[in-house]
Amino acid sequence: MKPDARRARKLLHAHVLETGATAARWLERQLNDPYVARARREGFRSRSAFKLAEIDLELRGEGEMLGTRQSGLAQFKVARLPEDAELLERARMRARTLLDEDPALRAPEHALIEAAVHAAYGADALEPIPA
C-alpha cells in the first residue's frame, strides 16, 4: 500500500473511532469489500459500477465472444460469470496480445484457432466491425 493511502486509511480509522460503533462497522465492511478494492484499483469512485455490471449480466445474459450480439442464449458456455471474471480477464488479455501479434491468425501455431473461428462465425469473422 502506498504511503499516502496508508496515511489516509489511518486518518479515516481515527475519525471512525471518534464517531462510534456504527461507523466502525461500515469502515470494516468497506475495507474488506472486494468490489470497493477493485473500484479503488481501477479508479472508480464507488463499487456500484461492478454491482450494476453484475445485475446487467444477470438480466441480459452474456453477449457473443466475436460479433455484435449483446444478449440471448450463449452458443457455448466457457465460464460462469461473475465467478470466473478474473480468469476471463486474463484470457482476454492473452487473446488481445495474440491478435496484436497476428491479426489474421496466419501463423502456423494459430491455424486451429483460425479454423475454429471461421467454422463458427464465417470467413469474415476476423475482419474489423464497421463503426
Is the predicted pLDDT of residue 71 greater than 60, yes or no?
A: no
Q: How far is CA 57 from CA 22, 51, 53, 83, 95, in A?
A: 33, 10, 6, 12, 22
Query: Between residues 94 and 4, which one has the greater pLDDT?
Result: 94
- Residue 43 C-alpha cell reads as 479508479
Mean pLDDT of the chain: 76
- Rounded Cα gap, residues 117 and 67, in angstroms: 11
* 84: its cell numbers: 470466473
- Is the pLDDT at 39 greater than 70, yes or no? yes
Three-state secondary structure call for residue 51 = helix
Q: Which range is most confident: 3-7, 40-44, 62-66, 74-78?
A: 40-44
Mean pLDDT over residues 122-126, rounded?
81
| CB-based contact 47:33 (threshold 8 Å) | yes
pTM, 2 dp: 0.41
- What cell numbers appear for 123 in the block? 470467413
